[in-house]
Amino acid sequence: MPYLQEKVDNLTKPKGSLGRLEELAIQIGAIQQTLTPALHKPYHVIFGGDHGIVAEGVSYSPAEVTPQMVFNFMEGGAGINFLARQHGFSMKVVDSGINYDFNGLENLIDLKVRMGTRNYLHESAMTREEYELCIERGSAVVDECFQEGSNIISFGEMGIGNTSSSSMWMTCLTGIDLSQCVGAGSGFDSEGVKRKYSILKQALDNYKGNGSVEDILCYFGGYEMVMAVGAMLRAAELKMVILIDGFIMTNCLLAASKLHPEVLEYSIFGHQGDETGHKLVLDYLQAKPLLFFGLRLGEGTGAVCAYPLVDSAVRMINEMSTFKHAKVTKYFE
């Protein structure tokens, strides 16, 4: 998009002096194929699901926290809620496969596939039919946001045990050794991380699938994670800007990119956390995160927190004067 670069270079500032804001403006202009990009009705979608592997003790937090946090989201008291309110995000919370009966809880979107995945230490977490259902349902959620006028969307998750599934996807899809993909999750000490690793290593050794992307996602995946993959792919198809946060959502994008690499062109990485695994998968994707804030909450907090920076980029390209208009000496070649 040479025209986009030219427009940015003629704004009243030394060339390149708005750094990352300039890069973001050019990326979003390219996504929307316009010199005057605009962001409409930002949406945040949280997919929730439980994981059979939690029975093996791979998570610091008990599984009951998944539904408890869903209630907290619905009541507006969680980390993601204040950020969504601050930045004017609409929110959808989806039950992709939480091991709890919500009894038609108002505003919770019931797309439950099953009461949690199977335990992949012994068998595939989901069936191929369940996988296809997740891809479809994730895609349909994005369609609804798009129909409401949204052109920028971020994703988050709630699912005790899903850092483990993410580590499994990561090692299988990137070839990075499992030991570098496993971290503390919501609070393990180094002993806990070791135990988590040894269980996941066992699960990896037990895996006898065909090694295709779909098979890996099926075998180790969470319902909430595969829905996020379907959602990301659909968002890219609809030429929406996708905001990515955290270890789990970054691995979902990794999975999506293995199916359709173009999804990366639509993605903006909100945040890089302190965990080695997150940094490695971001490096693998050649991602340049916007924030380094030490967040490790999930829920999509790192994506929504970074939204005003993306908004700044769009305002820059639309609102700044050009040298000619402002009668400022263009002080660069």
Residue range at the interface with its own copies (CB under 8 A); choices 161-169, 171-179, 191-199, 295-303: 295-303
Considering the complex, state which of residue 3 and residue 292 has its C-beta at the smaller distance from its own copies.
Answer: 292
Token representation of residue 231: 């959602």
Active-site annotation holder among 56, 130, 275, 299 = 299
Task: For residue 108, give the 3-state DSSP assignment.
Answer: strand
Least distance from C-beta 23 to its own copies, angstroms? 8
Distance CA 38, CA 311 (A): 9
Q: Which is nearer to its own copies, 189 or 205 (CB)?
A: 189
**Which range touches its own copies (CB under 8 A), out of 94-102, 168-176, 190-198, 318-326?**
318-326
| Stretch near its own copies under the rule CB under 8 A, chosen from 135-143, 208-216, 234-242, 286-294 | 286-294
Q: In which order are the strands placed within the sheet that holds 90-97?
A: 108-110, 90-97, 43-49, 152-158, 241-244, 267-269
| Binding-site string for its own copies from residue 49 to residue 88, where x marks contact by CB under 8 A and - marks none | -----------xxx-xx--xx-xx--x-xxx-xxx-xxx-
Determine the size of the site formed for its own copies (CB under 8 A): 61
191 is catalytic: no
Distance CA 135, CA 131 (A): 6
Q: Which of 88, 149 has the CB closer to its own copies?
A: 88
Query: Of 186, 211, 53, which Cα lies nearest the Cα of 117?
Result: 53
Query: Does 140 sit near its own copies (CB under 8 A)?
Result: no
Whether the Cβ atoms of residue 304 and residue 83 lie closer than 8 Å to each other = yes
- Mention every residue, 6+ apart, whose C-beta is less than 8 A from residue 319: none
d(CA 284, CA 134): 25
CA 183 → CA 54, 79, 179, 308, distances in Å?
A: 15, 21, 9, 29
Q: Which residues are catalytic?
A: 299
Q: What are the residues binding its own copies (CB under 8 A)?
A: 11-21, 60-62, 64-65, 68-69, 71-72, 75, 77-79, 81-83, 85-87, 186-187, 273-274, 290-297, 301, 305, 308-309, 311-312, 315-316, 318-321, 325-329, 331-332
